[in-house]
């Protein structure tokens, strides 16, 4: 869940494979920078144009590395994410990882969450993982749309 005012995303839940050796910096119930995470970029890509403009109008400072990223560079990524309906993000927080994320949409078409998978870049089957993430997001979106009271 994003907090665009401080340009972070909240990770509500996170699961690891039992034998996982992948370095992942996100933690259960923790916040990470929106511009360094696949889920954060998905949430931003589907935000309102006003929100996107406000969030990307100034440079981003990575809260972990201190690296500065131009807001315009982040904004330039968003149309492709919207057009594809997902992101395949190589690098991001951990250079050796690739993340795939997609939005979860309510019955009004509002993106309420994002789900993603992170794997080692050299070991990920991007097509398979992308299809799996998109399928899971579609199923969760349908469930949310069916069960939502708002």
pLDDT tens figures, 22-72: 545 454 457 888 899 999 999 999 999 999 999 999 999 887 788 899 999
Q: Which domain covers residue 13, as residue numbers?
A: 2-147
If you average pLDDT over residues 3-23, what whole number do you get?
67
Rounded CA separation 51/45 (Å): 10
Counting the structural domains of the chain, the total is 1
Tokens at 24, concatenated: 């992942």
- Give the lowest-confidence range in 11-15, 39-43, 65-69, 107-111: 11-15
101 or 123, greater pLDDT: 101
* CATH number of the domain where residue 26 is located: 3.30.450.40
Q: How far is CA 7 from the centre of its chain?
A: 12
If you average pLDDT over residues 128-141, what whole number do you get?
96
Q: Look over the chain and give the mean of its residue pLDDT values, rounded to a whole number.
A: 86
Phi, psi of 53 (to 5 degrees): -60, -45
85 or 6, greater pLDDT: 85
This prediction's pTM: 0.85
Tokens at 13, concatenated: 């839940």
**Pure H helices in the chain:** 38-45, 49-56, 71-84, 126-147
Rounded CA separation 87/81 (Å): 6
Q: How many residues does the chain have?
A: 150
């Amino acid at each position: 869940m994003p907090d665009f005012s401080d340009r972070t995303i909240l990770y509500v839940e996170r699961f690891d494979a039992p034998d996982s050796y992948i370095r992942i910096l996100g933690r259960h119930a923790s916040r990470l920078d929106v511009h360094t995470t696949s889920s954060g970029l998905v949430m931003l890509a589907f935000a309102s144009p006003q929100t996107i403009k406000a969030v990307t109008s100034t440079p981003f400072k990575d809260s972990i590395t201190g690296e500065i990223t131009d807001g315009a560079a982040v904004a330039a990524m968003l149309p492709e994410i919207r057009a594809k309906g997902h992101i395949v993000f190589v690098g991001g927080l951990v250079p050796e990882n690739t993340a795939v994320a997609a939005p979860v949409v309510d019955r009004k078409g509002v993106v309420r969450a994002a789900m993603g998978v992170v794997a080692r870049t050299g070991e990920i089957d991007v097509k398979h993982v992308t299809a799996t993430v998109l399928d899971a997001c579609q199923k969760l979106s349908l469930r949310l749309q069916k069960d939502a009271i708002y």
